[in-house]
Structure 1
């Protein structure tokens, strides 16, 4: 996925200023494709230069703001990109390497970091579930909900895996203690 395409999608959902887009991005697209506000502004400039979006000035409480809207060329580019095929990307998760390193080293306790990740994933799951409860969900936004449900399922699977891994570690620690006695 590319950031320009995420921005085009967000602007088609609701045109607005860069600041508004960045705030909305943090609460939706950012869950799956994080970007800094600086990256978003930089991409907005490129999209405008490429003739995919247009900005217009308006007065706001903070002075002059630029509102962005998607042009026909932007819609066409987003349609083209949406139809492209892409292979699934491999998981790139540093924690998995840390777990392997802990296993190889044998004496590096990793449980605390795994517990911290587990708490973070539980928090993210709670956020997704709150978003899902707020709805309203209907035919017009069924695919948006499908994206949210993918996030929910991912977090549930991650939590289940982490709890299982912690139980394995607890069992291994008990075995080590028993054999040392």
Structure 2
């Protein structure tokens, strides 16, 4: 996931100056997607060049001016496109959290299908972990190294179980928000 999509989401939630955006980003999306202030400014420039955002001068008081960025239709379209794109390997969880924020800002977009896809992936991973546990760690007299290896596997099992529980809580919200077939979105 590029930081650009996280920034577009944040700007859709509230148009901001680069400085204010960086501060807000640190307190919200930044908890699961990090970006330095320098990176944020660099990406804002790239997004402006791409026609995704525009900046307007805003009087701040005492004669100081700042640029306030807002999302243009092309940026909104790019974010909507990205939300429905399957997550790349290794970025699924972080990207999904940003996609949920984007769905809240501009949805409904149909993110329920991506959530269902990720649920199937996590369910398959959990089943694999449980099969490994049964195969390799079912003996009652495991050595300390084996118990430590099992502890690592249990961490993965518990992580998958918690993620699946959370996803099953979110999926009905996405289904209620999903655009209807043949209807207006």
TM-score of the two chains, using structure 2 as the length reference: 0.48
Q: Kindly name which structure, 1 or 2, has the bigger radius of gyration based on alpha carbons.
A: 1
TM-score of the two chains, using structure 1 as the length reference: 0.49
Q: Which has the higher contact order (CA 8 A, sep 6+)?
A: 2
